[in-house]
């Protein structure tokens, strides 16, 4: 009998997994692995090793790892935009940036109302071309993940970068907004709050914010789920609307109605996940020091 790598808590989870696939440990050697993003054209997974100020590249073709960029502004979260370009949240750069098709580094946003961002953390692109990102203070709180300095803005917000470049603050009532993703129809914006790292009175949660009909703003957020093992950092939503999120003990999977339907234990704290592979059915998992993956019976969005 092959032991499943998953724990099924709800029958709906059975349709999303294979009981016979294995959690594969692909590489180890990071201090804090984060920010996975899959580049379909290259079949590369790019991810961050934040304290070491470097990006690493996993090549699916031959299972090798190499350094992609160092120093890198202590990059944290990434996404791949609708033209296949890598978009980065830079802790010490304190900007959102993109690698253009010709290889040049372009800053997409650096300030809100004339003040520098804290340390952009995680990001997603909406179908209208805008970018939505979180800006907690982890990259300015310590010398480990960036450089210590005061917050110019004085709060940790969620922002939207319009295709014109204009920056607006969308959510200002979270302690430390962190992971961020849309539901498949973009009617909901999910945002994790890791504020418990600074104030234990803030529960580790993911909130769901209704996107207003203008497509550019959100209504009041509702509690979607609360973590019982560490906290939620980064997460992704599959094409069926299920949330696959990092926790302190592995990956938790939630149905769109907020039910915890399954767990995938990982022997390290997990900081983020993303979908990759040519069929986008390979879940890449960022353990604290190691890269893992497991094939699942669902798919991630085309770019995430
Ligand atoms: Mg994060």
Of the pLDDT bands very low, low, confident and very high (cuts 50, 70, 90), residue 1 is low
- Distance, CA of 218 to CA of 171 (rounded, Å): 8
CB 239 within 8 A of CB 300: yes
Rounded distance from Cα 217 to ligand 1 centre (Å): 22
Residues with CB in 5 Å of ion ligand 1: 121-122, 178, 233-234
Rounded distance from Cα 178 to ligand 1 centre (Å): 5
- Distance, CA of 282 to CA of 238 (rounded, Å): 11
Rounded distance from Cα 155 to ligand 1 centre (Å): 17
Q: How many CB atoms lie within 10 A of CB 26?
A: 16
Q: Model pTM greater than 0.95? A: yes
Mean pLDDT of 77-103: 98
The CATH number for 250's domain is 2.120.10.30
- Distance, CA of 33 to CA of 177 (rounded, Å): 19
Q: How many CB atoms lie within 10 A of CB 83?
A: 11
- Tokens 């983020």, located at residue: 272
- Distance, CA of 249 to CA of 233 (rounded, Å): 12
Q: Report the relative pairing of strands 75-80 and 64-69 from DSSP bridges.
A: unpaired
Of the pLDDT bands very low, low, confident and very high (cuts 50, 70, 90), residue 225 is very high
Rounded distance from Cα 234 to ligand 1 centre (Å): 5
Kindly state whether residue 301 falls inside one of the protein's structural domains: no
Kindly state whether residue 48 falls inside one of the protein's structural domains: yes
Rounded distance from Cα 67 to ligand 1 centre (Å): 21
- Distance, CA of 237 to CA of 224 (rounded, Å): 13
pLDDT at 19 over 90: no
- Distance, CA of 135 to CA of 121 (rounded, Å): 6
Kindly state whether residue 2 falls inside one of the protein's structural domains: no
- Distance, CA of 108 to CA of 131 (rounded, Å): 9
Is residue 191 exposed (0-12), middle (13-18) or buried (19+ Cβ within 10 Å)?
buried
CB 193 within 8 A of CB 178: yes
Rounded distance from Cα 150 to ligand 1 centre (Å): 20
Question: pLDDT tens digits for 152-210?
Answer: 999 999 999 999 999 999 999 999 999 999 999 999 999 999 999 999 999 999 999 99
What the block records as the tokens of 262 is 């399954």
Mean pLDDT of 217-224: 98
Question: pLDDT tens digits for 25-61?
Answer: 999 999 999 999 999 999 999 999 999 999 999 999 9
Q: Identify the domain containing residue 174 by its residue range.
A: 7-295
Mean pLDDT of 265-280: 98
Question: What Å distances lie between residue 124 and 89, 116, 158, 289, 299, CA to CA?
Answer: 10, 20, 11, 24, 17
Rounded distance from Cα 2 to ligand 1 centre (Å): 34
Cα Rg of the chain (Å, integer): 18
Kindly state whether residue 303 falls inside one of the protein's structural domains: no
Mean pLDDT of 81-101: 97
- Distance, CA of 239 to CA of 175 (rounded, Å): 29
Rounded distance from Cα 100 to ligand 1 centre (Å): 23
Of the pLDDT bands very low, low, confident and very high (cuts 50, 70, 90), residue 3 is confident
Kindly state whether residue 304 falls inside one of the protein's structural domains: no
pLDDT at 18: 95
CA angle (264, 268, 274) in 5-degree steps: 55
Question: Which of 174, 181, 138, 139 minimizes the C-alpha distance to 157?
Answer: 174
Indicate the number of domains in the chain: 1
Rounded distance from Cα 88 to ligand 1 centre (Å): 12
What the block records as the tokens of 145 is 């993940």
Counting every residue written for the chain, the total comes to 304
């Amino acid at each position: 009998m092959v032991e499943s790598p998953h724990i099924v808590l709800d029958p709906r989870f059975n349709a999303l997994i294979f009981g016979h696939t294995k959690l594969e440990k692909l590489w180890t050697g990071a201090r804090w692995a984060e920010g996975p993003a899959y580049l379909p054209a290259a079949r590369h997974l790019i991810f961050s090793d934040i304290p070491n100020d470097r990006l690493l590249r996993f090549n699916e073709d031959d299972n090798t790892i190499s350094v992609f960029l160092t120093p890198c502004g202590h990059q944290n979260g990434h996404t791949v935009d609708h033209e296949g370009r890598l978009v980065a949240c830079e802790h010490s750069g304190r900007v959102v940036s993109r690698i253009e098709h010709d290889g040049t580094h372009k800053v997409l946003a650096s300030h809100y109302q004339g003040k520098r961002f804290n340390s952009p953390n995680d990001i997603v692109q909406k179908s209208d071309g805008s970018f939505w990102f979180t800006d907690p203070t982890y990259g300015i709180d310590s010398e480990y993940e960036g450089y210590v300095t005061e917050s110019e803005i004085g709060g940790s917000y969620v922002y939207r970068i319009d295709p014109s470049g204009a920056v607006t603050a969308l959510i200002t009532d979270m302690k430390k907004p962190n992971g961020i993703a849309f539901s498949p129809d973009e009617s909901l914006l999910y945002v994790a709050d890791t504020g418990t790292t600074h104030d234990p009175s803030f529960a580790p949660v993911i909130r769901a914010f209704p996107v207003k009909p203008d497509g550019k703003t959100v209504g009041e957020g509702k509690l979607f789920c609360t973590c019982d093992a560490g906290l939620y950092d980064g997460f992704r939503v599959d094409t069926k609307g299920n949330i696959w999120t990092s926790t302190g003990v592995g990956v938790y999977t939630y149905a769109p109605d907020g039910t915890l339907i399954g767990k995938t234990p990982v022997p390290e704290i997990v900081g983020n996940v993303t979908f990759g592979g040519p069929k986008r059915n390979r879940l890449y998992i960022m353990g604290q020091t190691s890269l893992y993956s497991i094939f699942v019976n669902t798919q991630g969005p085309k770019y995430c």
